[in-house]
Structure 1
Amino acid sequence: MSQAPTNGTHLSTPSQRFIPRLLQRTGPLTESLALNASEFGPRLLPPQMHGDRATASVCGFCSTGCNLNVHQRGDEALGLSPATDYPVNLGMACPKGWEALAVLDAPDRATRPLLRNAVGKLEPVGWDVAATTFGDRMQAIQREHGPQSVAFLSTGQIVTEEMALLGALAKFGMGMLHGDGNTRQCMATAVVAYKQAFGFDAPPYTYADFEQSDTIVLVGSNLCIAHPILWQRVMRNQFDPQIIAIDPRTTETTMAATQHLALQPKSDLALFYGVAHLLIEREWIDREFIDAHTSGFDEFAAFVSDFPLSRVVAETGLAAEVIERFAESIHNGLRVSFWWTMGVNQSHQAVRTAQAIINLALMTGNIGRPGTGANSITGQCNAMGSRLFSNTTNLLGGHDFASAEDRQKVAGILAIDESRIPHEASWPYHRIMEGILRREIRGLWVVATNPAHSWINQETARDVLSRLDFLVVQDMYHSTETARIADLVLPAAGWGEKEGTFINSERRIGVTSKVARAPGEALADFHIFKLLAEYWGCGEMFRRWESPAATFEILKQLSAGQPCDVAGIDGYAMLRERGGVQWPYPAESDEYATERRLFADGRFFHPDGRAKFLCEEPRPLPEPTTSKFPLTLLTGRGSVAQWHTQTRTAKSAVLRKLYPEELYVEINPHDAAGLLISSGDLIIVASQRGELRGRAMVTPAVQPGQVFIPMHYEATNRLTHPSFDPYSHQPSYKACAVRVAMASN
């Protein structure tokens, strides 16, 4: 990467006018509704940590969207406890939630802008130099190579108001054509599957469905540790439900299930087609619902007739009676709910697999009723906000870049020239990375994500990033793998140091509150975006976006008339009062229920009001095993205490005690014996792309011919194969060919 200048003196007026105001505004705590801590919370805290008030805030880790009471004395956050009256977590919190404040005080917090100097070192600079350099360098690249030559990578970690401002600023103000988010790595499949099947990205459920199902099907989901509060909701179920876990590996969840279908990796599509065939063949379907509310069923029925039990047994490795019992359980269930996460989404045929799950729900009438649904569980805290308002693959508010009517509506609400709105969606994440490699993209702005760790085929990803003319990383830590190779690092506030809204897996919009000051000169992402807009010269376009609360009012307007309409929400106060609000909540709504599911009326979002059956022939693994690489690598969640690239969780001494510090590799006893490997041995795992070292954990949790490595460790993605679903463009992290050998000392 080229070296950035370390000085810059023009645009001094914005510096004098804007930066002091920002620092002044972000110094004191913002006003927020003070809630009395419940009896449950303070008893779990030492007396000195009770404080004199508690501020409610939605947690900033996963998409569950728990509410936490942060206990404060003055401007100091002393500790926290889970809110007992919030309809999501009902007084529960996982270890990450309990430690949410601890990660704010890490010594590697980014506290000042850093700029790479002439000798290649990052050195502190002021915000004036940082903002000037950002504008000068990015605009120079655009002048020489065109507007498409700079791009951004967003995140599901920042609040919805920040996502929307970033997307609007980058595309409408700065003229960037391409930007995507790290939600491409976790939720793009569910988005596309729902759009194609339902007509809109619409997870239909509410968490109460976990407690109201009599049959719960979990596909590629280790719910027990990935979403522990949701697992606790399952444990509250009074109907003694059948819990059917579909996963190649034995996990904490499969061990608690009543049925575990330990199928071969990525054979789930064939399984679901075969089960659909059994249900049709035995007339275990809801023909009345199918005829009234769906389209394409007859074609689907003809398609799955090619999946007799013998074929499904051969492709999945499951016994015939196991498959038949699964089908019978769906038939016998009065309220069957189907749930999936990354084990489905991160696949080379992910969208069709998700739709195969949706097909099972539709054909049995298990949708729109309590305890039912085809339900994707989101990953990041605000992935749903990103899906609707990041302005990347969708125009703001779930609109369509290709629709002239939608462009006109959005331009009118924002009072901008319609010509500023692109006519097509952004390139997806992997196409942006390929664009860097082809020198089509030369400047990249990375916000609150860590692609040098998390992107598939890591060695190539880092090589690609190193080819940029200018890499800007905006993050709360200066130590991330991506920040360390940046030309410019912009210090950002984290969860608890700013306010806004998150949208959780069940479509609930909740408020996250500011309870602490960001360290040093770090600013909320919202204020960084406002500052950069001023230096770029497009600040006037975003005058109405004066605060997160003001921006929320704009988002309400953008959502009006859409399936995700939230125009009826009366600001943050209503969200706090109601315990969050699930969309839709249009202006005329008088619905007070805290739990609301979609499709109770049987109408979907396609123009004809029907849901679609969709299917496609399964495809083989992109990288099958060979004699040289004879094992299949599985990746996934390691422990309840780990989160993504561990950018935050590794900062907590408590969380670090809850998982092995050293990378470990689960290997079956049969394979270990053949390689003379014992638990604790240092081993090497290699794929065609790279290798890593880790400690062997010999366990029957993985089947013969498979190994498992948690995704959180930095080295894991040296191995993963860069294959993508053709519809969602989501990477397939879950299955590639590797070999294992003892490491030499």
Structure 2
Amino acid sequence: MTEMLLKYFRTNQQKWQAEKTYDTQCPYCSMQCKMQLIEQSSFTNKKYKTISKDNPTSQGRLCIKGLNAHQHALHKERIKYPLLKKDSEFVQISWEEALEHIKINFTRIQSEYGLNALSVYGGGSLTNEEAYLLGKFARVSLKTKYIDYNGRFCMAAAATAANQAFGIDRGLTNSLSEIPNSRCIIIVGSNLAECQPTMTPYFHKAKENGAYIIVIDPRETETTKMADLHLKLKPGTDAALANGLLKVIIEENFVDDLFVQDRTNGFPELEKHLNAVDLNEIEQITGIEIEHIQRAARKFGEEESGMIFTARGVEQQTDGVMAVRNLLNILLVTGKIGKPSCGYGAITGQGNGQGGREHGQKADQLPGYRLIDNEEHRKYISEIWGINEKDLPRKGVSAYEMMEEIHRGEIKGMFLMGSNPVVSNPNANFVKEAFQKLKFLVVVDMFISETARHADLILPSSSYLEDEGTLTNLEGRVTLREASRACPGEVKHDWQIICEISHTLGKGKYFSFTSVEDIFNELRVASRGGIADYYGITYDRLREENGILWPCPSINHQGSKRLFETSFAHSDEKAVLIPVSNYSTVSKENISEEYPLYLTTGRVLAHYLTGVQTRKSSALAARNFESFIEIHPSTAMKYRIQDNSLVQIESKKGKIIVRSKWSKHIRQDTVFVPFHWAETQNVNCLISDSLDPTCKIPGFKISAVKISPIDIIN
């Protein structure tokens, strides 16, 4: 008997202690770190461990979010079957029933109200293939002009500014590997040490090599700790500060005259504008002493190489485009672009924020960064898709403006994939009301998010461990995310869902893909000759080369590691300089007697976007289980706010309640609240609906608020 038992245990030992590995990429920030999940199964349980994999971007590093990403993918609350709302409750239905409900309701809405009564709302975490397919779905299957995505709130200002100045928007104009050898680096509105921690070592290496680092931020953060000079400006005054820096650069002869003459347009107008700029006024506007403005300008001007990086702190303003344009003016007048360790970097927030806007999710774009109102571009894409050009819709509106269209009654139904706009949009209460007005809402998600609660139908989506596809990181490096784990229950990939709905709607011939690689091969052709040209990139190359920087126009092309070495992407091959006002053309909220404090928002290390995924991770949620207000002790005492106490914050748009966190690292006229929480802690309930007039990005980073200790609120 004993020998039989031993034989039995030996035979089954491998089964009980099996080990599986899943190669993948982190589903969170734009670094897109490569990693591997190890699943160890024993007779009684399963254990999981994440290890990093070497790659050109993060060089084998992982942050705490990546190490714990599997916790949300394996969470018990994942949706595994289609859910239909009946009598205010979600009930499980079959995929056949779900598709039939979509067909009936989409057809009815468009029959009664027109093609544009339906809308599509996407996300910056979708793969390139799924972002491409979603744009095609909106314009071919639904024939609606209304499509946009949550990247509108992330990269729109930087993208527009780069396109206007350079003719191309790629996250970084050169590769991350050039950062360590740059002599002077300006980081504006970014706490990358918490938002992109695996990127931070590049800057530490630069500092070790003698670089002078300037950080512009109203808060002291983990990122400002590495700065040689921290310019702690008043929120919303970045454009004015850039004017001060430019004035010193020009007056003290740090202009690269040959570069400006040969490779730019608009310098005389810029110089004339700056002659009228008064540094005393800049000091008054920004709160930065003239001496510090001069020190920053001189250091950047005198060094042989320099780079400027921007993120949401400067971009999420009603003058976000112009503020970034003014920072690009600094690069151009000093000639610090298109050369080794010189250039611009827009630090993308979402995992595929870069690729997501290149292939058709934005209202005004077609694949390859083509423009939907450009006749030549329309003709090319129509031929690729096999449709008549006249049937291709024109430009719609931005993500938040779609909410306004719902309130106006123009939009009656929505297909939403990979986003949570009830939490992420400004004026969040208004947005919640919009979703309640829709006649039919379909949400594709892994969880019942705050937005999905308003859905009529929820479709279960695959996770990063299951969904293969390409993503484009903050460098513009296209990477292939392998994903071999089987989908749980009846979960489908986003691309499969789009294809099946299209078949149900009678558009199957345009979506006859049998694999995600099939979709990518069509994307390659659709992008060919466009600004974001992926034609030379293949799955085989991505596996062999571990990522390729676009543009890559042919199979033999090695990818573009550094842009603008000899020319810019405008027709005359020159970059464009423009004068920028100290003030936004769209009025920003100013503090007043009634609303005496500036509110700014941002991230914390442990969480991502609206927290739908990271709040499902026990390891991450334990670090920050609730929101908070960071407030200077002097300010807190003025308003009778005790440390670690509940506080009501109120703006003209709404009110929330969070816990106080005293900090001497923030300006006394400013408070900070992270944006990862919902409902009564959703800071976006306080944010104005004012938008940048060019790119339509909301002004998340500056609001006027008042605060009260919770115990004396009437």
**TM-score, structure 1 as length reference:** 0.89
CA apart distance, 1:462: 0.5
Paired residue for 2:546, among 579, 584, 587?
579
SS in 2 for 1:266: coil
Secondary structure of the 2:667 match is: coil
Aligned residue for 1:560? 528
- What SS does structure 2 have at the residue aligned with 1:489? strand
2:489 aligned residue: 520
Cα drift, residue 70 of structure 1: 3.3
Matched residue, 1:459: 429
- Please state whether the residue corresponding to 2:198 is helix, strand or coil: helix
- The count of aligned residue pairs is 688
Instruction: Select 1:471's aligned residue among 441, 459, 473.
Output: 441
For residues 459 and 717 of structure 1, the distance between their equivalents in structure 2, rounded to whole angstroms, comes to: 9
Instruction: Tell whether the 8 Å contact from 2:470 to 2:478 is kept in structure 1 after alignment.
Output: yes
Cα 1:152–1:600 change in 2 (3 A) is same
Output the CA distance in 1 between the equivalents of 2:706 and 2:143: 46
Of 614, 617, 632, the residue aligned with 1:652 is: 617
Aligned to 1:729: 696
Q: Give the match for residue 144 of structure 2.
A: 176
* Superposed displacement of residue 391, structure 1: 4.2
Q: Out of 610, 615, 626, which is 2:592 matched to? A: 626
> In structure 2, what is the equivalent of residue 605 of structure 1?
569
* CA displacement, residues 668-702 of structure 1 (integer Å, 9 cap, x when unaligned): 12211212222112221111222111221121121
Q: 5+ residue gaps in structure 2?
A: 1-13
- After TM superposition, list the pairs within 5 Å mapping 1:368-407 onto structure 2: 368-392=338-362, 393-407=364-378
Q: Partner letter of residue 519 of structure 1?
A: P
Q: Which moved more, 1:220-229 or 1:102-111?
A: 102-111
Match of 2:232 in 1: 262
Structure 1, residues 155-211: CA drift from partner, whole Å, max 9, x if none? 011111011111101211221111000000101111111111112223312111221
Q: Deviations over 1:280-330 (max 9, x none)?
A: 111111010011111111111111222221111111111111111011111
Please say if residues 442 and 469 of structure 1, whose CA atoms lie closer than 8 Å, have aligned partners that are also in contact: yes
- 8 Å contact kept, 2:466–2:486: yes
**1:685 maps onto 2:623 in alignment:** no
Match of 1:496 among 446, 453, 465: 465
Structure 2 SS opposite 1:328: helix
The answer to whether the aligner puts 1:71 opposite 2:38 as a matched pair is yes
- What is the CA distance between 1:77 and its match in structure 2? 9.4
**Higher mean Cα deviation, 526-535 or 686-695?**
686-695
**Paired residues for 1:426-465 under 5 Å:** 426-465=396-435
| Alignment-derived partner of residue 274 in structure 1 | 244
**Residue-by-residue CA offset, 1:66-116 (whole Å, 9 max, x unaligned):** 111333679x994321112x1111111011111121211112211111111
Assess if the C-alpha contact under 8 Å between 1:358 and 1:374 holds in 2. yes
Alpha-carbon distance change, 511 to 49 in structure 1, aligned in 2, over 3 angstroms: farther
Aligned alpha-carbon RMSD (Å): 2.0
Q: Aligned in 2, Cα 1:641/1:112: closer, same or farther, shift over 3 Å? A: same
Cα distance in 1 for partners of 2:47, 2:266 equals 56
Q: Any conservation in 1 of the 2:243–2:582 contact (CA below 8 Å)? A: no
Residue in structure 2 matched with residue 11 of structure 1 by the alignment = none
Percent sequence identity is 31
Once residues 230 and 224 of structure 1 are traced to their aligned partners in structure 2, the CA distance between those partners, rounded to angstroms, is 8
Residue 109 of structure 2 aligns with which residue? 141
Which of 490, 494, 518 is matched with 1:550 structurally? 518
Deviation at 1:588, TM superposition (A): 5.6
What's 2:637 paired with?
673
Q: Secondary structure of the residue that 1:264 maps to in structure 2? A: coil
User: Is 1:509 matched up with 2:478?
Assistant: yes
1:132 paired to 2:100: yes
1:413 to 373, 384, 389: 384
Which whole-Å CA distance do the structure 2 matches of 1:77 and 1:445 have between them? Answer: 37
Among candidates 261, 264, 268, match of residue 298 of structure 1: 268
Deviations 1:636-662 (A, max 9, x none): 11x211111111111111112222x22
Question: Which residue does 1:21 correspond to in 2?
Answer: none
- Residues in 1 aligned to 2:230 and 2:688: alpha-carbon distance in whole angstroms: 27
Could you report, residue by residue, the CA deviation over 1:125-173 in whole angstroms, capped at 9, with x for unpaired residues? 1111111111210111111111111101100111110111111012112
Aligned mates of 1:270, 1:50 — CA distance in 2: 62
In the alignment, residue 372 of structure 1 is paired with which amino acid? C
Q: Distance in 1 between matches of 2:21 and 2:166?
A: 41
Kindly indicate whether residue 293 of structure 2 is the aligned counterpart of residue 323 of structure 1: yes
Counterparts of 2:684 and 2:22, CA distance in 1: 39
Partner of 1:33: none
- How do 1:7-26 residues align onto structure 2 when only pairs under 5 Å count? none
In 2, the alpha carbon distance for the partners of 1:153 and 1:185 equals 13
Letter in 1 for 2:692: D
Q: SS at the partner of 2:601?
A: strand
Alignment of 1:191 onto 2:162: no
For 2:542, the aligned partner's letter is L
Equivalent position of 1:250 in the other structure: 220
| TM-score normalised over the length of structure 2 | 0.93
CA distance in 1, matches of 2:549, 2:40: 32
Provide the rounded CA distance (Å) in 2 between the counterparts of 1:235 and 1:298.
38
Paired residue type of 1:438: R
CA contact 1:50–1:79 (8 Å) conserved in 2? no
Letter of the 1:626 partner, please give it: S
One-letter amino acid of the counterpart of residue 507, structure 1: G
Structure 1's 708 and 270: CA in aligned 2 closer, same or farther, altered over 3 A? same
Tell me if the contact between 1:64 and 1:381 (Cα under 8 Å) persists in the aligned partners. Answer: yes
Partner Cα separation in structure 2 for residue 73 and residue 527 of structure 1? 30
Question: What pairs up with 1:703-714 in 2 under 5 angstroms?
Answer: 703-714=667-678
* Aligned residue identity for 2:421: P
Per-residue CA distance 1:560-605 (angstroms, 9 max, x = gap): 2223222222x2121021110110112164437xx8111112x111
CA shift in 2, pair 1:54/1:365, >3 Å = farther
| Alpha-carbon distance change, 640 to 48 in structure 1, aligned in 2, over 3 angstroms | farther
User: Hey, what does 1:41 align to over in structure 2?
Assistant: none
* Amino acid paired to 1:576: R
Counterpart selection for 1:60 from 20, 23, 27 = 27
SS at match of 1:352: helix
Where do 1:5-154 residues align within 5 Å?
Answer: 54-71=21-38, 78-84=48-54, 86-117=55-86, 119-154=87-122
Q: For 2:523 and 2:385, locate their aligned partners in 1 and report how far apart those are by CA, in whole Å.
A: 10
1:7-66 C-alpha deviation (Å, 9 max, x unpaired): xxxxxxxxxxxxxxxxxxxxxxxxxxxxxxxxxxxxxxxx99997675532321111121
Q: Distance in 2 between matches of 1:385 and 1:282?
A: 40
User: Cα gap change, 1:485/1:222 in structure 2, threshold over 3 Å: closer, same or farther?
Assistant: same
- 2:77 maps to a residue whose letter is D
Give the C-alpha shift of residue 236 in structure 1: 2.5
Quick one: distance in 2 between partners of 1:268 and 1:523?
44
Preserved CA contact (<8 Å) 1:273 1:304? yes
Does 2:200 correspond to 1:234?
no
Residue number in structure 1 paired with 2:3: none
Structure 1 gaps, min length 5: 1-46
Deviations 1:461-506 (A, max 9, x none): 111111111111110112x100111111111111111100000110
